[in-house]
């Protein structure tokens, strides 16, 4: 492929069902829908399949897309793979991750809708830096609340965010009531839901501000379809075939971006066979493997719409880990619905295994992956080496390396020093955090 896709591809027309509608909690409707540009709403609900990429966004895409794809032969040899492994690499832009694909699109739509500032929460910092750069590109102010534990581990993520003119706040902060209430709570310093909640609260204070999110929404997954669309064409150009597609999951945009175009293409009869779609999540935040399918909040305010999702509970105290971008309590509404209908599979990966896979990839392929991407590489290694009998691959595995790890060296330092043992989710704490959530019943579209 010599150019970036000219249109995004929606998977909604190929699902065979409608996604469950959101619920409004008694506390209030929240700010998200009220400030969402109409085009993003359309992209979330319409059965339209192809959406042209606006030229101002396409122009920015051309600076770093199409993103590289290659066969990782040396990595295959190191992990004793029985089938080929192909890598789609999303680290070659200023944010260092796939997040820039939707950040540019969203900044364009919000700017066109008349907003002057975008506000967001970020975990590992990829989304925060992507949005800061996108806002600079389209003349918008930007405010970012970053999870405190992540910012301490990755100070240069903060430097990058500030470089692009954004205001950066450590979460919990003193800027919001939610942050002040949480100050001093060690676990809340590791909470992406809190950082998002602070952004939601802060965005409400000015009608020209809009809260903006980069992962779990259906429109952001649509924008990420450029990953899978390119990969399909690039594999065809190589004469290669894969029957397994792997991506890491925080809320789901990276996984959805690489995997769902394969689902749509198979349903449309454009591929010889459907691929097994494997979501690799963190064992500290195992929503798809150990969570419940229920209505839950996407942030800590308790006022926004409640979405049908696989969740471990928005109030669950997530233990520290170096996979900050995966440490979100729930999976995207779209990804959750597909998981519930067995259209995707999931594996939970510990941080030691993830970082070890990342180190092997770095020494064999000479590309340092983000810790989040290490989860996808570890899952791909399991599948390609025949260690997951239920997910056997006969033709090949495609794995998305969602970003580089050059600003995540603290995590690799810990690995080299003998990373402490993983802290898997506590069963009793999971039960308590999800006990009062309303299950999604089949009659509601589940």
Beta-strand ranges (E) seen in 3-89 are 7-9, 50-52, 69-71, 85-89
Residue 444 has pLDDT above 60, yes or no: no
**What pTM was computed for the model?**
0.94
Angle at which helices 126-137 and 155-163 cross, to 10°: 10
Instruction: Say how far apart CA 198 and CA 177 lie, in whole Å.
Output: 8
Mean pLDDT is lowest, of 62-66, 321-325, 409-413, for 321-325
Q: Look at residue 347 in the predicted model and tell me its pLDDT.
A: 98
Q: Look at residue 196 in the predicted model and tell me its pLDDT.
A: 87
Residues 358-370 have a mean pLDDT of 98
For the chain, the distance separating the N- and C-terminal CA atoms, rounded to the nearest angstrom, is 37
Residue 26 has pLDDT above 70, yes or no: no
| Per-residue confidence band for 101, with pLDDT thresholds at 50, 70 and 90 | very high
Beta pairing, strands 244-248 & 167-171: unpaired
Residue 28 has pLDDT above 70, yes or no: no
Q: Look at residue 32 in the predicted model and tell me its pLDDT.
A: 46
Strand partners, 170: 146
| Per-residue confidence band for 1, with pLDDT thresholds at 50, 70 and 90 | low
Instruction: Share the mean pLDDT of the chain.
Output: 92
Q: Look at residue 105 in the predicted model and tell me its pLDDT.
A: 98
| Helical spans, DSSP H, in 204-331 | 218-223, 225-238, 253-267, 287-290
- 60-95+225-444: CATH, from 1.10.10.10, 3.40.50.1100, 3.40.50.720, 2.40.50.140: 3.40.50.1100
Sequence spans of domains, the chain: 60-95+225-444
Residue 281 has pLDDT above 50, yes or no: yes
Angle at which helices 409-416 and 351-365 cross, to 10°: 100
Contact 379, 356 (CB under 8 A): no
DSSP letters for 160-226: HHHHTT-EEEEES-SSSHHHHHHTT-TGGGG-HHHHHHHHHHHHTT-TTEEE--SSSSHHHHHHTHH
Beta pairing, strands 7-9 & 50-52: antiparallel
Contact 89, 30 (CB under 8 A): no
Residue 24 has pLDDT above 90, yes or no: no
């Amino acid at each position: 492929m010599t150019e970036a896709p000219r249109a995004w591809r929606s998977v909604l027309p190929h699902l065979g069902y409608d996604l469950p509608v959101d619920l409004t909690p008694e506390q209030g409707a929240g700010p998200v829908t009220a400030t969402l540009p109409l085009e993003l709403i359309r992209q979330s609900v319409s059965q339209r399949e192809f959406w042209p990429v606006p030229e101002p966004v396409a122009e920015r895409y051309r600076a770093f897309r199409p993103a590289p794809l290659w066969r990782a032969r040396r990595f295959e040899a190191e992990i004793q793979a029985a089938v080929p492994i192909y890598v789609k690499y999303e680290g070659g832009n200023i944010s260092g991750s796939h997040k820039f694909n939707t950040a540019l699109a969203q900044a364009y739509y919000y700017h066109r809708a008349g907003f002057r500032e975008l506000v967001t929460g970020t975990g590992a910092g990829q989304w925060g830096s992507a949005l800061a750069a996108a806002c600079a590109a389209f003349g918008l102010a930007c405010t970012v609340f970053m999870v405190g534990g992540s910012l301490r581990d990755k100070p240069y993520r903060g430097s990058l965010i500030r470089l692009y003119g954004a205001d950066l706040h450590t979460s919990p902060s003193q800027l919001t009531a939610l942050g002040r209430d949480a100050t001093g709570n060690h676990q809340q310093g590791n909470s992406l839901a809190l950082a998002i909640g602070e952004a939601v609260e802060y965005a409400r204070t000015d009608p020209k501000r809009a809260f903006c999110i980069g992962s779990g929404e259906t429109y952001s997954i649509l924008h990420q379809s450029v990953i899978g669309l390119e990969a399909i064409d690039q594999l065809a150009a190589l004469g290669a075939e894969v029957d397994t597609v792997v991506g890491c999951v925080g809320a789901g945009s990276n996984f959805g971006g690489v995997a769902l175009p394969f689902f749509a293409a198979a349903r449309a009869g454009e591929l010889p066979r459907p691929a097994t779609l494997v979501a690799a999540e963190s064992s500290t935040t195992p929503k798809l493997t150990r969570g419940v399918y229920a209505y839950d909040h996407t942030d800590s305010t308790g006022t926004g719409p409640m979405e049908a999702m696989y969740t471990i509970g928005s109030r669950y105290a997530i233990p520290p880990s170096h996979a900050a971008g995966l440490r979100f309590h729930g999976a995207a509404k779209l990804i959750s619905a597909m998981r519930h209908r067995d259209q995707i599979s999931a594996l939970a990966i510990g941080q030691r295994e993830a970082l070890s896979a990342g180190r092997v990839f770095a020494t064999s392929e000479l590309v340092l992956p983000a810790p989040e991407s290490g989860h996808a590489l570890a899952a791909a290694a399991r599948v390609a080496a025949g260690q997951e009998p239920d997910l056997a691959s006969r033709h090949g595995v495609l794995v998305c390396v969602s970003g580089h790890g050059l600003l995540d060296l603290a995590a690799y330092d810990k690995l080299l020093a003998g990373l402490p043992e993983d802290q898997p989710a506590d069963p009793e704490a999971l039960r308590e955090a999800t006990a009062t959530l309303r299950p999604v019943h089949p009659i509601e579209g589940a």
